[in-house]
Structure 1
Amino acid sequence: MRIVHLRKRPLVAAAVGVVAASMVLLVVGVLCIIIFSASLLRTLIEVKGSQILEREISVDGEIRVNWRWAYTHIYVENIRLQNAANFSEPDMARIELIDLHFKPLRLLRGHIDISEINIVAPEIYLERKSVDLANWNFPALAPADTDGAIVARSRYEFPVIDQLKISRGHIVFNDNLKGLNLDLQLDSVTGHEQVAASSHQGFEKGYTLNGSGKMRDKHFTITATGGSLSQLRDASVSFPLRLKLEMGETKVLVDGRFQNPLQLDGVDALLEIEGTNLADIFYLTAIPLPPTPHYTLKGQLTKSGNVWSYHKFKGQVGSSDLAGNLSYDVGGERGYLTADLTSTVLNAADLGGFIGLDPEGEAVKSTRLIPDVPLARERLLATDLDIQLKAEQVTGPNLPFKGMEIRFDLRDGSLKLNPFNLVLADGTVDGIIEIDANPAVPPMTMDLNMRQLNLVQFFKGTRFESTTDGMFGGRIALAGEGASLAEVLATSNGDLTLIMSGGEISQLLIEASDLDIGQAFPLFFGKDKATRINCGVLDFDVKKGMLTSEVVVLDTNDSLLVGDVSINLKDEKINAWLDAKPKDNSLLSLRVPITISGQLKDPRIGLHPEKTAVRGVAAIALGALLTPYAAILAFIEKGNVPNTDCRALISAANKQ
């Protein structure tokens, strides 16, 4: 009963095919029944039926035949169909009772016309082990061009049924190829010529179905209302169907018309879906989506051949709007999803699931700063996808996002975010992120460039906004392995470089770093002022999750700030000192560097126990330190205009 993921051999078609085959075998022997007896019917079913299906069919209970010219009543107890060899269940189907009335005169004209049929306790076990090995493959029944699928509507004329009742039905479907396990209880299925519930769809006569079951160990309930059973016989008439499915907080409504409902083909229907977490869609579709806040989506669902499409859908995910088109091809061994998604205003918190945050966008409760939520490897291995997401505006706390454009390309368990483009702080962050879910410990690499980011955007709403200006850029190149972002960074190797020039920064921040009480004290209680930034360089070497600073330099009009920083990403501990060398002769400057230590999520700031005479060596060696970074000045230079501030600092330091 799945909506989008049963491919060439739908569960509905297979189950109906089994029941239909049993019915056909019963009715084909009617002429012999009229002339002879119930014993002949038993022989026909058990001997002839077993020969046709190449499986043993037995009737372990009573058979009664009550013949009339107007109608014939057949009563058969305990029918059993043997399973294919090497499958788990001994029987593929067991039916406690088939009780039917049909019109024999119509049979003489080549039509199967059943006025009433009652099927009690049918149990059907369907299983697929590989692409070519499924227990519903019957060579004598399946057309060659369907690869063994049971196509009840295309090969056999579906009988006219005036009234149908199925009680205590049970269908089990196990698909090892897709990792799908479905256990469906059909508590009641009734269908007769009456007015159906969905009158707005133009139903004049129809049926209702109610059931419950499990799919991938998740419980669900299903209710369906459709057109008349006689409409199933006419392939030229689309079949109206309204289906509601609930699995936990996920609610799905499909309301439209099916050209072939038994094969779930020729679909044109409204699809509404709502839930608390888009990641739960995996249980219905095997599409790996990240955790999200509450969502609602509405659009048009169609199916042509093996391709399901969701056209012009719109909705909300958390506080973000989402619209677009997607298609899902289920014809291959693996599903393949393509989508083009757009958002006018996207809340960055709604994307937290991509990096291990909970569906509400808040960090997972932990003493750690870096998310440590394991990657769902089995989901990345379940299907392939190519999704493009574009947001015109991105909102969110702490980070000044403006817009984004990302392509998620997942093939055979290897996920690439390429291109990965963020408009951040009036600049851009672009590059490639790759994750390979095939190894037990997935490797991850990221190569990101930061270009012309505006420093003031990071101080919006603070007392330092009016005294901050300038651009910075740089590069992050890291490679690690692990099941979560925290594990990847804890094992990562690479480098991280930032360079800044041509702006201003709060003098309070600079003076406080050297505890120059004489200058910093009035700034705390009076009006802060800005000091010009000539150049700043921050460079880390990363080995086995340990970030060690190669250069920490910030040159301003008032001070030259140098330092040393090390960060252990494995236990998230920081150990750093910052020492500002004033360019004036302030008598109250203590010239004692400040230290930063403790956990990244809750660092401690203190004083270094020693004076900084030996630390001044770093400033003397600026030439050797800064010269290599001339090559990355392009990250902060506009067009062909060179950045003279950093180039001047590098040149001067080199002369020293």
Structure 2
Amino acid sequence: MADRDSPIVAADATPADPPQTAPPAKEKHRWPRPLVIALRVIGGILLALFLAWAILYVTKGRFLKGTFERIASSATGREVRVEGDFQFYFNPINVKYVSEGLTVSNPAWARGGNFFAAKRIEANVATFSFIWGERRINILDLQGGTVDLRWDEAGRRNSWTFSEEKGEPLDLPLIRRAVVAGTRVRYRDPRLRLTADITVDTVEARDDRFANSIRFRGDGTARGTPFTLWGALLSPNATVAGGHNQLALRINGVRTRADITGTLPGATEIEGAKLNADVRGQNLADAFAVFGIAVPDTRSYRLRSALTKQGDSWRFTGLRGRFGESDLAGRMTVRIGEPRLLLDADLVTRTLDIVDAGPFIGYNPNRLEAQGSAGTVTREGGRPRLLPDAPLRVEALRNFDARVSWKVARVRAEDFPVSDITLGLSLDDRLLKLSPFNFAMARGTVSSDITINARREPVFTDYDIRLSPTPMGTLLKGFGVAESGTSGTVRARVRMTGIGNSVRDSLGNSNGRIAVIIPRGTMWTRNVQLSELDIGLFVQKMFEKKLEKPVEINCGLVAFTVRGGIAAADPILIDTRKNVMLGRGGFSFRNETIDLAFRADGKQFSLFSGQSPVGIGGYFADPSLDVISPELLGRAGAGLGLGVVATPIASLLAFVDVGDAKSADCGPVLSGATARAQRDTKGRPRDDVGKGTTAKSEDGSRSKGERKEQRKKFLGIF
């Protein structure tokens, strides 16, 4: 039975649906707060830059004129002023700069004036290139500009380095296009004594192209020598397109013309330029003197080479040309730096004319060309002088250092058999060394080491000159010695020091020793007989047609001791199989006089012998041979007296040579020993050779007593 209290539910009723909920809303994406802040900052900066650009573009930045003057003056340490219009803005990304009446003062040490001034200057500067360190000016329009480039007296500071530190080399920005009018550049360098004033002609442009070449001209002085220059950039439009610019430059100075042609990477770029130099003139020393470099004088010359600049060095490569009648080739580098300019050269000459070699020891090349060998002789007080007296350019040696190698294949000269010259030259702060200085001479070799110390005053020179064994016939053939029949050799050494600023002064105040050694060999007999005046033997051989029969030389030494520029025989001793030749006297570098006598004593009996010395006197430039000496005249007088008093046969006794000459010990001779060390074959000291003493007056005169002693001892000794 149904529960009456139960609720009554309809039969078709369905269960109630469960309660429904609303679908969840989609969640929004949020950026990280730091990124949002960064983007807002960047946006603000870009907006600020845009506003700044817009303001600058609209106003042309004219309101920054005062700010520009203050900042530029503070940064450069110079007074910077703009008298007229001023513009500074981005156009659109490159910086556009315009100013009228701009002046930048010189540094205080320059004592006034402006380093730079321009009536009007307009420039388009590549912004990003400046940020990354490459300074590039796309367009430069300069009107009425003046630039004052100068160094101070000490060469430490310059006007274009905006600091009190050491002056830097001039480093111009790369200029793609330059339009200038009425621009002037001044340059001053007290150390080089160089001044230049250059004016740039007006350059016009139409439709972004230059209507003509950029031409310039100017003048100046280099170490007191005036010069003029003019030139042009012949293809400026190629530079605008990023190509190369053709340069033509001519410089005219005293007796010198230099033409520089080639291409520049940019209108103001020298680094890496491909140039050619053609220099000609009357004297090569003139061109080098512009840079303060001292080189020997030359006859007229012309040299060509490629020219490049790398850093502080100017390089002349493929050098070729002539000076006088000699050729020259090689390469040369001039480095402009500290502590001095450096000249580095490697040179080659196929043929050196003897006239062109003269200036290297102080002779005037034009005088040699006009007069030949007579051009080496001058006259002082009526006396001929041969030694050159051109002074060493000591002041010029202060300006530069040098390293030079020069090789000469052949010397063109009569009776001067020199070839294969090798010269190494070094100059370091006025210390000049010629080492090695070697050359072949008459199938022998001369090796030299010469040091010229110009750090001292007066100049001090050390000579060390050595001749290797050389065939005597070849060496002396120009002096009458024939090669045929002569097999002897000679070797020699000069070891001296001298004081003086010229070759003449240096040798005139020299000390040391000169020695010529003759080892065993043979010599054509006619020369020996003429020197010893052995009349009987000479005539006998002449009639027997044996003039070319050689005379055997055991050993010989011709040596001089030099004191105060006067050389005394110490000793002259030549030992042959039949004779002993002795010499006395000497010569003077001071007044270039000669006073020598040679006498041959026979080792064998000779009926007719003058036994009289042959005298050599006069001067270096005018020597004289005296074969009729007082001794020979005395013997002739004695013979005449005997002939009158006794018989004609008795007169011959005055010319008899008993043949008692002492043979020499060749050991001391071949070692070049002094007279005091000479011995005969029995080991006894020789008493018939000089002792190397000096006692002659400056003018070469002797007292009456000295002349008497001279006659007694042949010609005496100094």
Q: After TM superposition, is the score higher than 0.5?
A: yes
Secondary structure of 1:86's aligned partner: helix
Write the mapping of 1:322-333 to structure 2, written as runs, cut at 5 A: 322-333=328-339
Note the C-alpha offset of 1:341: 1.6
The residue number in structure 2 matching 1:477 is 495
* Pick aligned residue for 2:160 from 136, 139, 145: 136
Identity over aligned residues, as a percent? 25
Contact 1:419–1:430 (8 Å) recurs in 2: yes
* Pick aligned residue for 1:186 from 185, 190, 198: 198
The residue number in structure 1 matching 2:180 is 164
Contact 1:80–1:91 (8 Å) recurs in 2: no
The residue number in structure 1 matching 2:593 is 573
1:389, 1:337 → 2: CA distance? 13
Note the C-alpha offset of 1:280: 1.9
Kindly indicate whether residue 600 of structure 2 is the aligned counterpart of residue 600 of structure 1.
no
* Pick aligned residue for 1:529 from 509, 523, 548: 548
* Pick aligned residue for 1:91 from 113, 116, 128: 113
The residue number in structure 1 matching 2:229 is 222
Aligned residue identity for 2:335: D
The CA deviation string for residues 136-161 of structure 1, in whole angstroms up to 9 with x for no partner, is 32149xxx9x964453306xxx4743
Contact 2:663–2:681 (8 Å) recurs in 1: no
Shift of the 73–313 alpha-carbon distance from structure 1 to 2, 3 Å rule, reads: closer
Note the C-alpha offset of 1:549: 1.2
Note the C-alpha offset of 1:584: 5.0
The residue number in structure 2 matching 1:7 is none
Note the C-alpha offset of 1:214: 0.8
The residue number in structure 1 matching 2:302 is 296
Q: Which stretch shows the higher mean deviation, 544-553 or 297-306?
A: 297-306
2:410, 2:400 → 1: CA distance? 30
The residue number in structure 1 matching 2:449 is 432
Q: TM-score if structure 1 supplies the norm length?
A: 0.75
Secondary structure of 1:98's aligned partner: strand
2:520, 2:103 → 1: CA distance? 84
Contact 1:91–1:125 (8 Å) recurs in 2: no
Kindly indicate whether residue 433 of structure 2 is the aligned counterpart of residue 412 of structure 1.
no
Shift of the 562–103 alpha-carbon distance from structure 1 to 2, 3 Å rule, reads: closer
Note the C-alpha offset of 1:555: 2.8
Higher radius of gyration, 1 or 2: 2
Secondary structure of 1:55's aligned partner: coil
The residue number in structure 1 matching 2:363 is 357
Paired positions, count: 575
Contact 2:147–2:185 (8 Å) recurs in 1: yes
Write the mapping of 1:309-324 to structure 2, written as runs, cut at 5 A: 309-324=315-330
Write the mapping of 1:489-500 to structure 2, written as runs, cut at 5 A: 489-500=507-518
* Pick aligned residue for 1:269 from 238, 261, 275: 275
Note the C-alpha offset of 1:503: 3.9
Kindly indicate whether residue 51 of structure 2 is the aligned counterpart of residue 51 of structure 1.
no
Kindly indicate whether residue 278 of structure 2 is the aligned counterpart of residue 257 of structure 1.
no
Secondary structure of 2:467's aligned partner: strand
Contact 2:157–2:167 (8 Å) recurs in 1: no
Kindly indicate whether residue 472 of structure 2 is the aligned counterpart of residue 443 of structure 1.
no
2:59, 2:541 → 1: CA distance? 106
Write the mapping of 1:227-246 to structure 2, written as runs, cut at 5 A: 227=234, 237-246=243-252
Q: TM-score if structure 2 supplies the norm length?
A: 0.69
2:477, 2:196 → 1: CA distance? 56
Shift of the 113–477 alpha-carbon distance from structure 1 to 2, 3 Å rule, reads: closer
Q: Which has the higher contact order (CA 8 A, sep 6+)?
A: 1
Write the mapping of 1:72-151 to structure 2, written as runs, cut at 5 A: 81-87=104-110, 89-93=111-115, 95=117, 98-99=119-120, 117-119=142-144, 122=146, 124=148, 126-130=150-154, 132-139=156-163, 148-151=168-171
1:334, 1:419 → 2: CA distance? 24
2:287, 2:161 → 1: CA distance? 29
Kindly indicate whether residue 200 of structure 2 is the aligned counterpart of residue 173 of structure 1.
no
Shift of the 363–535 alpha-carbon distance from structure 1 to 2, 3 Å rule, reads: same
Aligned residue identity for 1:328: V
The CA deviation string for residues 479-520 of structure 1, in whole angstroms up to 9 with x for no partner, is 112101111111111111111134443434333334344555
2:497, 2:531 → 1: CA distance? 33
The residue number in structure 1 matching 2:438 is 421
2:472, 2:124 → 1: CA distance? 87
Shift of the 598–103 alpha-carbon distance from structure 1 to 2, 3 Å rule, reads: closer
Contact 1:468–1:530 (8 Å) recurs in 2: no
2:460, 2:59 → 1: CA distance? 69
Contact 1:92–1:126 (8 Å) recurs in 2: no
Contact 1:139–1:148 (8 Å) recurs in 2: no
Aligned residue identity for 1:600: F
1:44, 1:502 → 2: CA distance? 95
Kindly indicate whether residue 386 of structure 2 is the aligned counterpart of residue 369 of structure 1.
yes
Secondary structure of 1:128's aligned partner: coil
Richer in strand (by share): 1
Note the C-alpha offset of 1:304: 2.0
